[in-house]
Structure 1
Amino acid sequence: MFSRAARPVVQRAAAVSARPAPSNNYATLREIEGRLKSIRNIEKITKTMKIVASTKMNQAQRNMVQARVYGATNNKVYEEAETKPEEKGKTLFIVSSSDKGLCGGVHSSLSKAVRAKLETNPEADLCILGEKCKAQLGRSHPKNVVMSFSGVGKDVPSFAMAQSIAHEIMSLEKQYENVEVVYNHFNSPVAYEASAIDAFSEESIKASANFAAFEVDDEQLPDLREFALANSIYWGLAEGYACEIAARRNAMDNASKNAGEMINKFQILFNRTRQAVITGELVEIITGAAASAE
């Protein structure tokens, strides 16, 4: 009697032990569900960041157009005066980046352009606006960095910000014969390129062929140079901010699309895994029922 009653239990145990053990690489339903949840949260964040960047885009472009008016007027004076940079002397590159990331290769392309300039002029100094390019250029050319500014890119650039930066640069002990503002030039919402604006020294302004026609006194040259430098910095910051916002919108759009594709793939994997689990449970039930019937 005991052996007859115990026979179904022994047969079920033998059937369970005979089935192959699940693979360690086979994800469980709970793991897949957790991954799906995290990807959906990431998709929500990227979509929100895309909406925020889209709302800021119009304001950034309007500010950029105003800065271009300042910059074009400033450059027109030196074009008519035929001002040219000096061939010799110390050079300062002002790199116009920001503190924010998640905007594609905006800062990387700018750092790449600055490295190319440093290859031809390795003795040049760097003044970096923003933490992103500071981190990149600080690793490759730490000895060239003489000044840096943080807190750039949080808000729309203003001329007051550029003026304060220009004042700090003019207060440096070193005197630079050549100053260039390296920035990202806004071509379209999907295209930008690294460019440079010359900020001439007092000697270059004095040596201009037609500058005497403007009737500027020598005492006013330092103020004129600082004002021109602030104009150039403001132009570079405004252009770079517009490029950053456009690049962030595109990057978040691509990230949202990639997250949607991953959600679809993991949803299919979840359904297949759930189907496999249900099939396995049905097999166990049928095997147990057949064993109990014997």
Structure 2
Amino acid sequence: MFARSAIATRSAAPTLNVAGQSRNMATLKEIQVRLKSVTNISKITASMKMIASTKTTRAQRSMNVARVYGQVSNDFVKQSGVEKAEGAKELLVVASSDKGLCGGIHSSLSRSARRYLNEGENAETPVVVLGDKAKVQIQRAFAKNIRYNFNQLGSTIPTFDETSIIASTILADKSLEFDNAKILYNKFVSPIAFETSSIESFPITQIVEAPNFAAYEVQDEILENLNEFLFANNLHWALVEGHASEMAAKRTAMENATKNAGDMIQRLTLQYNRGRQAVITNELIDIITGASAL
């Protein structure tokens, strides 16, 4: 009876151990594959962070130049004493881009646009969207308001030539009747912060009628060119500053992604080592049990 019991124990033990070991090894294999995948993702996000850091530096230099021109032209309009006419038709311009992987920078811009359009007097305001990211979010509720959408923006720093083409297209459309233009954009505050802001663009007819405009002695034949320049300059300022905010937000997003991947790698490594140690312990127990049975 003792011999039969020992033989039964020896014959039954390997079956249970193989099943348990198979399960453990399968789990360890899954953890190992996932660990390798997260490690590769961490390398990609770290590289994207370095690229975004370089692009942020370039974008900030261009932004500082565009901001000077934009502030000077807006100070000129402000010093003339122009005020928004009551009942003026307004055009909403949303300056975003086509790129993602930069946090909620496009979402905040789209929320501000939807909040503006949800106001009763602005429900029929025509909208011009610069970039595909904001378009996708705005057209869900206000598809009928979108008149123009310009894409292929954000891959490089916007140039004034590109902005001039956009401004000329908008101003040349006679069916797009508006008096004032409200330009929504992401204002660059710091490399880790931005805020949604707006620029008011007034037509030259209102600027000429302003009380202090006569002090500038602008010739009548260049008023139309001045109108186009002021509008294009405001658009360029909004696009370049938004591009700098986007690159800074992308750098922050990639930095956070790399940090999260590092934390996940530590947890998976610890889990893998514990599982591997458990397998080794079970194998030792099986060896000791078999030796004791013999």
CA deviations on 1:232-252 (whole Å, 9 max, x unpaired) are: 011001110111111111111
Contact 1:12 1:287 in 2 (8 A): no
Structure 1: gaps of 5 or more residues: none
- Aligned pairs for 1:44-63 (under 5 A) are 44-63=43-62
Aligned to 1:130: 131
Identity %: 46
Equivalents in 2 of 1:39, 1:20: separation in Å?
A: 30
Match of 1:238 in 2: 240
Amino acid at match of 1:95: V
Q: Is the 8 A contact 2:17 2:286 kept in 1?
A: no
> 2:84 & 2:127 partners in 1: Cα distance?
18
Q: Which residue of 2 aligns with 1:100?
A: 99
What is the correspondence of 1:1-294 to structure 2 with a 5 Å cutoff? 10-16=8-14, 28-120=27-119, 121-172=122-173, 173-291=175-293, 293=294
Number of residue pairs matched by the alignment: 289
Change beyond 3 A, Cα 1:277–1:82: same
The range that moved more, 16-25 or 126-135, is 16-25
* Deviation at residue 84 of structure 1 after TM alignment: 1.8
Q: After superposition, give the CA deviation of every residue in 1:53-81 in whole Å (9 maximum; x if it has no partner).
A: 11122211110110011101111221121
Please give the alpha-carbon distance, in whole angstroms, between the structure 1 residues aligned to 2:277 and 2:112.
Answer: 54
Q: Deviations over 1:99-148 (max 9, x none)?
A: 11111111111111112211222111111111111111111221111110
Contact 2:183-2:200 within 8 A present in 1 as well: yes
Question: CA-to-partner distance for each residue in 1:80-104, whole Å, 9 max, x for gaps?
Answer: 2111222213211111111111111
Q: Structure 1 residue 286: deviation in Å?
A: 2.7
How far 1:22 sits from its partner (Å)? 5.2
TM-score by length of 2: 0.91
Q: Which amino acid aligns with 1:34?
A: V
- AA matched with 1:116: R
- In the alignment, structure 2 segments of 5+ residues that lack a partner are none
Q: Please report how far the alpha carbon of residue 28 of structure 1 lies from its aligned counterpart in structure 2 after TM superposition.
A: 0.8
The Cα offsets for residues 131-189 of structure 1, whole Å up to 9 and x where unpaired, read as 11111111122111111011110001111111111011112222211101110111111
What's the secondary structure of 2:44's corresponding residue?
helix
- The answer (yes or no) to whether the contact 2:52–2:248 under 8 Å persists in 1 is yes
Q: Secondary structure at the match of 1:86?
A: coil
- The CA distance in 1 between the partners of 2:77 and 2:58, in whole Å, is 29
Counterpart of 1:244, as a letter, is E
Q: Tell me: CA distance 1:24–1:71, structure 2 relative to 1, closer, same or farther (3 Å).
A: farther
Superposed displacement of residue 18, structure 1: 6.5
Distance 2:93 2:36 in 1: 44
Q: 1:179 to 1:276 in 2, by over 3 A?
A: same
Whole-Å separation in 1 of the counterparts to 2:23 and 2:129: 48
CA contact 1:85–1:198 (8 Å) conserved in 2 = no
Q: Distance in 2 between matches of 1:22 and 1:118?
A: 62
Between 88-97 and 255-264, the greater mean CA deviation after superposition: 88-97
Between the aligned partners of 2:163 and 2:85, the Cα distance in structure 1 is 24
Distance 1:141 1:82 in 2: 34
Instruction: Answer with 218-227 or 171-180: which moved more.
Output: 218-227
TM-superposed deviation, 1:202? 3.2
